[in-house]
């Protein structure tokens, strides 16, 4: 990014830098100069005539001059004069302290080159004052300096390597927050002025006095000055010197040698290619040098606390930095160069040391500072890799450690054995489940688990060695044959591994701690792939065998579970079939309380969403999946960064390289779609998969922009198509006219479902709740104004309130105190509502349960899961009378199953999410189908809309076919459920689940049968299932040749199973299927398999 200073200030700084660094310090003008140029024509800083114009010791930066007494004398004299003029010190002290500063302190030449005489006088005065205070008090010399002026800040503190909470450590915490844009906590836009500055840090070779051997650290921070043609696009690839000159600070370029510039070009190019975050790490040890140069490059804002974390890292190796630099580049990248003192170390040990440092720097980027970081700095420290492993295992244990399972199962069975009704049983079992969850989470808080881990470094090391033996290729115990599952199982049975359990029992003194560390072993053995040992990674990812899940908690075992941990988030991905699809959502928390509520339910949320998706996907080839990313409380502004790291880390496991131990042994593909907070990221994910070399990149994500071959759900209202089909079906069956029906809606005109629900409907909407607030009018919200917002995708806060009736009002979540807000007090807001909900947030969060949420029709198009559950569903049933006659669920999991049962028992016609909102997944599935069937050139020509004014005819026809298929499936399922309810009088939400299970069960049976091998039925079914436009373009024969057979076979089974159940119902006799398939047994003419001419 460009400098944050005003343009005039930047121009002045740029001009000053371009004039030549020889103007600072003044001694250069006094001595005379000669200009030098390097081999590439870059003008070097002026060099004194009596100094040699050669590179520094490691040829990284061009040395300004030799720090000799003769060269420095003019500057020394000027500094002494400045100090004498201040009259704080006697002339004798001025001479002594100045001579000591220049002759004995041992500062780098670049320090003197960058400082004016005034600056140096301040340093010496600060040091002399500290010495006098020490002499007077008898205390240790404590020298500090904090000097800020303009865009430059200078700090002077004692250097105490490895000391916890030292002055330098505390200062680096502040520097990374205030100047490097990497503080742990989110900073507001007002703080941006001090972000993204360059840093130089020097450690003195000499001590601060002959008596006190403490060294000093000097930190210099200044705003970068970029050229006028600076590039700010983070996707810009630096390929050569000319490109580097467009992104680097002007002053830096003048002193960087050819060697440094070449290294930076390679590192910046690599970091921009990754795009998802992650590091490019390089290390250099030059012959006859006592320094090792560690360089780390990554995109700004993709980690935190890296400066202080890096210091902790090399201190753990008993090393210190002699100097370090941080360079900021205008297109959004940062490079650390740290020079580590390796004096006295054996040459044969350096190679291993450097490799360990580079590996640990990669881990540091992924998890720079955690609640377990103190374990790296204790008297019995663990390594950085052990720390990162322990952190990931700790989070795994928190989400999956389950107790009371046997008690819960027995109580649950006893409830079901009674004579209670279905609703009463559901209520009892649900209440029991909540009690179990509360007991578990109260017992296993993250803090309680963390304390157990902090107390047991020995167990952490032991359990890490077990993890390493299983998943690191560098371990001698891990041969190539060890990678198969049989040898994996054999290793788990070795005596040494069984001894670990005995060691755990020996080290802990209670049952809970034993269970905690036993779960570490469970984590180790159920990982089938991990990127843990991949050098360049953005986050830590683990592909888990889901057999560890307790069936008492998760009755339906998923096909696969992915666990991803990053510096800003943690997340899961769950799928119930090998070929599965579902959206990825980002969960943000507006407050600490919201985060604490979201955290324990994270895996349950993704599991339930994936299970719902599995039921919803009964019409399509893919099973159900879902991904959820929970942002850490201090990183609520990092949704895009977290999503990119999450996706990149999944790709690490989908595209396993030689660094990964692979116990899975087969190819895996995930199909990702948009969900809450990720719709804008699908383009990036598809392009990134292509950059990573994924053959499946065209089908990897759906909901992409049309220019990338996507079918945007919001543009065409794909999900709304199925939801509104159910709405119209209910209105038709109940003889109601849409124009006369009142409706309440959650999810506003700014969202996909909310906006399209407004655009397709003709009802009398009386209330809309969205992220910004509540819009209410019992007379009916002005349809034209609501439509305007929906077309513009704007929140209800932009509604023209002059169009509200006298009884209408709007409440914004920004209204902190409704009793004092003048805007609200004149907005007809009922006093009783204010009394119940004193803030705008409270009104928004509870309005769907209030007396004002009352209409014929309720269509939730947004909202958090479990918004209506057993505890609050009674608010919708005052005196047993429902506030809504019809509910069609657009939002996933808005209602819990027990809440649905209560509502249906009260007479509400309710269609749940798994049935009503499946239009989006159908669209996504058919989008993937087209991507698999078309060649790259066909895809580009026929399926990518590069110009909105010139939409390819095939694309238009295909989208029309998709909408027809969505409507057909929705109508078929609606009619089936209506008939089944009329026949059995059982709740529709229960029938919906049974319908899904029945279709999926039949689907599996068909997949395992020989029907696919019979050409006649295969061809007839596929001709019916495929979009007609694709058949016309390619012909069925070509489609079957191109699309993977596993996919077409799944499509075949899904179509047959769903159409049979929709037609015949839940109680169809066995022979009915035989009759159903008779029309499909007729041979197909060969011409019918060819494209339409």
Q: What is the DSSP string of 369-392?
A: S-TTGGGGSSSSPPPHHHHHHHHH
In the set 177, 626, 638, 912, the catalytic residue is 626
Instruction: Provide the strand spans (E) within 896-971.
Output: 909-911
Give helix 988-1008 / helix 897-905 axis angle, nearest 10°.
130
For β-strands 33-34 and 47-48, DSSP reports them as: antiparallel
- Name the 3-class secondary structure at 717: coil
Burial of residue 303 (CB within 10 Å: 0-12, 13-18, 19+) is buried
Please answer whether residues 484 and 665 qualify as being in contact, where contact means their C-beta atoms are separated by less than 8 angstroms: yes
Closest CA to 522 of 619, 413, 397: 397
- Name the 3-class secondary structure at 721: helix
Q: Round the CA-based radius of gyration of the chain to a whole number and report it.
A: 34
Chain position carrying tokens 């040699």: 52
Closest CA to 686 of 769, 160, 678, 694: 694
Verify whether residue 465 is a known catalytic residue.
Answer: no
Name 421's Cβ contacts closer than 8 Å, sequence gap at least 6: none
What is the spatial distance between Cα 231 and Cα 661, in angstroms, rounded to a whole number? 40
What is the spatial distance between Cα 746 and Cα 887, in angstroms, rounded to a whole number? 12
What is the spatial distance between Cα 763 and Cα 1036, in angstroms, rounded to a whole number? 43
Q: Which two tokens stand for residue 399?
A: 């989400």
Burial of residue 828 (CB within 10 Å: 0-12, 13-18, 19+) is middle
b/e burial code for range 924-944 (CB count within 10 A of at least 16 → b):
bbbbbbbbbbbeeeebeebbb
H-helix segments, 418-557:
422-443, 446-454, 457-471, 485-492, 495-507, 511-525
Q: What is the C-alpha end-to-end distance of the chain, expressed in Å? A: 54
For β-strands 198-203 and 215-222, DSSP reports them as: antiparallel
- Name the 3-class secondary structure at 138: coil
Chain position carrying tokens 């068909």: 1006
Q: What is the DSSP string of 798-813?
A: GS-GGGS-TT-EEEET
Please answer whether residues 361 and 294 qualify as being in contact, where contact means their C-beta atoms are separated by less than 8 angstroms: yes
What is the spatial distance between Cα 264 and Cα 274, in angstroms, rounded to a whole number? 15
What is the spatial distance between Cα 620 and Cα 920, in angstroms, rounded to a whole number? 11
Please answer whether residues 936 and 708 qualify as being in contact, where contact means their C-beta atoms are separated by less than 8 angstroms: no
Please answer whether residues 1047 and 579 qualify as being in contact, where contact means their C-beta atoms are separated by less than 8 angstroms: yes
Q: Which two tokens stand for residue 570?
A: 């943690």
Name 566's Cβ contacts closer than 8 Å, sequence gap at least 6: 366, 367, 538, 539, 540, 642, 645, 646, 649
The full length of the chain comes to 1093
Burial of residue 872 (CB within 10 Å: 0-12, 13-18, 19+) is middle
Please answer whether residues 903 and 876 qualify as being in contact, where contact means their C-beta atoms are separated by less than 8 angstroms: yes
**16 φ/ψ angles, rounded to the nearest 5 degrees:** -65, -45
**218 φ/ψ angles, rounded to the nearest 5 degrees:** -120, 125
Return the number of other C-beta atoms located less than 10 Å from residue 269's C-beta: 18
Q: Which two tokens stand for residue 268?
A: 């910046």
State the catalytic residues.
626
């Amino acid at each position: 990014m460009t400098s944050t200073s005003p343009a005039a200030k930047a121009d002045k700084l740029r001009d000053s830098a371009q004039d030549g660094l020889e103007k600072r310090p003044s001694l250069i003008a006094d001595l005379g100069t000669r200009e030098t140029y390097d081999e590439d024509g870059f003008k070097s800083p002026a060099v004194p005539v009596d100094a040699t114009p050669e590179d520094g010791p490691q040829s990284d930066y061009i040395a300004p001059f030799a720090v000799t007494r003769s060269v420095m004398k003019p500057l020394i004299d000027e500094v002494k004069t400045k100090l004498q003029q201040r009259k704080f010190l006697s002339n004798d002290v001025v001479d002594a302290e100045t001579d000591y500063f220049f002759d004995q302190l041992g500062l780098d030449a670049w320090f003197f080159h960058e400082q004016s005489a005034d600056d140096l006088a301040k340093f010496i005065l600060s040091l002399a004052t500290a010495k006098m205070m020490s002499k007077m008090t008898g205390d240790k010399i404590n020298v500090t300096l904090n000097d800020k002026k303009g865009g430059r800040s200078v700090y002077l503190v004692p250097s105490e390597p490895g000391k916890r909470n030292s002055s330098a450590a505390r200062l680096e915490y502040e520097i990374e927050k205030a100047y490097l844009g990497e503080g742990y906590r989110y900073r507001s836009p007002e703080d941006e002025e001090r972000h993204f500055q360059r840093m130089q840090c020097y450690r003195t070779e000499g001590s601060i006095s002959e008596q006190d051997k403490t060294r000093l650290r000097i930190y210099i921070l200044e705003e970068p000055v970029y050229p006028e043609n600076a590039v700010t696009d983070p996707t810009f690839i630096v390929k050569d010197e000319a490109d580097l000159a467009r992104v680097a600070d002007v002053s830096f370029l003048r002193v960087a040698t050819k060697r440094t510039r070449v290294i930076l070009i390679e590192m910046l190019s690599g970091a921009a290619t990754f795009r998802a975050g992650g590091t490019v790490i390089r290390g250099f040890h030059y012959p006859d040098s006592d320094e090792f140069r560690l360089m780390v490059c990554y995109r700004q804002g993709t980690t935190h606390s890296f400066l202080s974390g890096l210091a902790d890292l090399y201190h753990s190796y008993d090393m210190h930095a002699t100097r370090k630099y941080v360079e900021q580049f205008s297109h959004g990248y940062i490079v650390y160069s740290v020079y580590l003192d390796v004096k006295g170390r054996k040459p044969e040990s350096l190679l291993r040391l450097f490799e360990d440092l580079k590996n640990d720097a990669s881990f540091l980027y992924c998890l720079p500072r955690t609640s377990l970081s103190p374990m790296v700095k204790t008297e019995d420290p663990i390594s950085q890799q052990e720390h990162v492993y322990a952190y990931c295992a700790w989070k795994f244990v928190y989400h999956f450690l389950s107790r009371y399972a046997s008690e819960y199962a027995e109580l649950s069975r006893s409830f079901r054995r009674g004579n209670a009704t279905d609703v009463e049983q559901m209520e009892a079992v649900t209440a029991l489940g909540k009690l179990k969850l509360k007991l578990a989470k109260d017992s296993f808080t993250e803090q309680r688990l963390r304390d157990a881990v902090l107390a047991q470094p020995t167990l952490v090391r032991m359990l890490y060695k077990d993890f390493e033996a299983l998943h690191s290729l560098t371990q001698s115990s891990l041969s190539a044959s060890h990678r198969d599952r049989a040898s994996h199982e054999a290793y788990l049975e070795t005596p040494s591994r069984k001894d670990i359990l005995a060691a755990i029992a020996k080290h802990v003194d209670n049952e809970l701690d034993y269970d905690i560390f036993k779960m570490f072993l469970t984590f180790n053995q159920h990982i089938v792939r991990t990127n843990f040992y991949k050098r360049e990674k953005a986050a830590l990812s683990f592909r888990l065998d889901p057999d560890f899940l307790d069936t008492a908690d998760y009755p339906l075992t998923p096909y696969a579970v992915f666990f991803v941990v990053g510096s800003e988030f943690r997340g899961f991905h769950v799928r119930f079939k090998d070929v599965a699809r579902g959206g990825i959502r980002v969960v943000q928390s507006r407050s600490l309380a919201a985060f604490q509520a979201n955290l324990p339910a994270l895996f349950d949320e993704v599991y339930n969403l994936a299970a719902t998706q599995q039921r919803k996907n009964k019409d399509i080839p893919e099973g159900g999946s879902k991904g959820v990313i929970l942002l850490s409380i201090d990183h609520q502004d990092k949704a895009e960064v977290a999503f990119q790291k999450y996706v990149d880390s999944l790709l690490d496991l989908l595209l396993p390289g030689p660094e990964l131990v692979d116990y899975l042994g087969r190819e895996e593909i995930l199909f990702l779609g948009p969900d809450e907070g990720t719709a804008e990221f699908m383009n990036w994910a598809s392009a990134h998969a292509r950059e990573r070399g994924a053959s499946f990149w065209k089908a990897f994500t759906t909901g992409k922009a049309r220019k990338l071959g996507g079918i945007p759900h919001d543009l065409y209202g794909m999900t709304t198509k199925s939801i509104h089909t159910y709405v119209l079906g209910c209105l038709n069956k109940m003889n109601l006219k849409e124009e006369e029906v009142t409706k309440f809606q959650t999810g506003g005109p700014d969202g996909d479902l909310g906006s399209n629900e407004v655009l397709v409907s003709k009802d009398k909407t009386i209330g809309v709740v969205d992220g910004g607030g509540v819009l209410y009018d019992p007379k009916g919200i002005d349809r034209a104004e609501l439509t305007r917002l929906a077309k513009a995708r704007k929140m209800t806060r932009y509604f023209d309130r002059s169009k509200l009736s006298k009884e209408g009002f709007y409440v914004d979540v920004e209204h902190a105190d409704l009793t004092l807000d003048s805007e609200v007090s004149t907005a007809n807001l009922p006093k009783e509502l204010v009394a119940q909900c004193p803030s705008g947030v409270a009104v928004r969060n509870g309005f769907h349960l209030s007396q004002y949420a009352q209409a014929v029709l309720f269509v939730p198009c947004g909202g958090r899961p479990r918004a209506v559950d057993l505890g609050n569903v009674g608010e919708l049933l005052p005196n047993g009378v429902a506030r809504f006659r019809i509910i069609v669920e657009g939002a996933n999991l808005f209602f819990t199953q027990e809440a649905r049962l209560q509502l249906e028992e009260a007479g509400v016609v309710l269609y749940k999410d798994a049935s009503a909102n499946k239009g989006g997944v159908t669209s996504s599935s058919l989008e993937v189908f087209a991507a698999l069937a078309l060649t790259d050139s066909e895809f580009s020509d026929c399926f990518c809309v590069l110009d909105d004014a010139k939409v390819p005819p095939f694309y238009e026809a295909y989208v029309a076919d998709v909408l027809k298929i969505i409507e057909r499936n929705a109508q078929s399922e609606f009619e089936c459920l209506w008939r089944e309810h009329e026949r059995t009088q059982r709740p529709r939400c229960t029938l919906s689940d049974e319908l899904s299970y029945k279709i999926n069960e039949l689907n599996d049976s068909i997949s395992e049968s020989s029907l696919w091998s019979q050409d006649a039925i295969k061809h007839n079914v596929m001709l019916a299932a495929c979009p007609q436009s694709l058949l016309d373009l390619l012909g069925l024969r070509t489609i079957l040749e191109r699309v993977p057979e596993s996919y077409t076979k799944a499509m075949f089974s899904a179509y047959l199973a769903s159409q049979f159940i929709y037609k015949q119902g839940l109680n169809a006799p066995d022979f009915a299927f035989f009759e159903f398939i008779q029309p499909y047994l007729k041979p197909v003419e060969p011409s019918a398999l060819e494209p339409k001419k």
